[in-house]
Structure 1
């Protein structure tokens, strides 16, 4: 159904399945990543992969995604399950495509924490509440 709706729009392509080794090239060719999850994901891997590739993200405003995406800084959030709000985010970027380069630039200046840094942060929270 999506392919039928998008047919004729040269900006949209359906790439099919891919291997994990293809991800760097896929992210390099993309302008933005969309993570429309309806779950309260605590560690959204797709979001982290996109940010690590300096790719802005439009994500649902729930769970770990809403903690990592700062609207206008490294992407945008939209209300979970709200297709109209997601469409508004797309329309905004279509009207002002220069925002994508600003987001990419911001992401390059905000490196993701290392696994060790994240582990230390989680341990700190755990031990603080375990007392």
Structure 2
């Protein structure tokens, strides 16, 4: 059995993609063609508790749905840490890191698709 060889006490920030990570892999569409994302209540509760503990939280998503911004702000994410319409996620990741004076080793990033790969290679804990 392998173990994670990483000191999780170094982590100061959690940054997430949305689609497929904090929402289902399948996104229904409205009659107007807008994506209708689903959310996991348990994820939401955990993120809200992390925010209450003072853990820095961020979103980097290619999506532009205002409901996403509202959802995560309600959970305790600061509006300036929600990057919407991100076409090159590494740029937004670096902005987040610089804005908060963090080192890569202090950031956990959760992504699940090709646009996330560059960030996952640079962050401390993908």
Q: Which category describes the TM-score, using the shorter chain as reference length?
A: 0.3 to 0.5
TM score, norm. by length of structure 2: 0.38
TM score, norm. by length of structure 1: 0.37
Greater relative contact order: 1 or 2 (C-alpha under 8 angstroms, separation 6 or more)?
A: 2
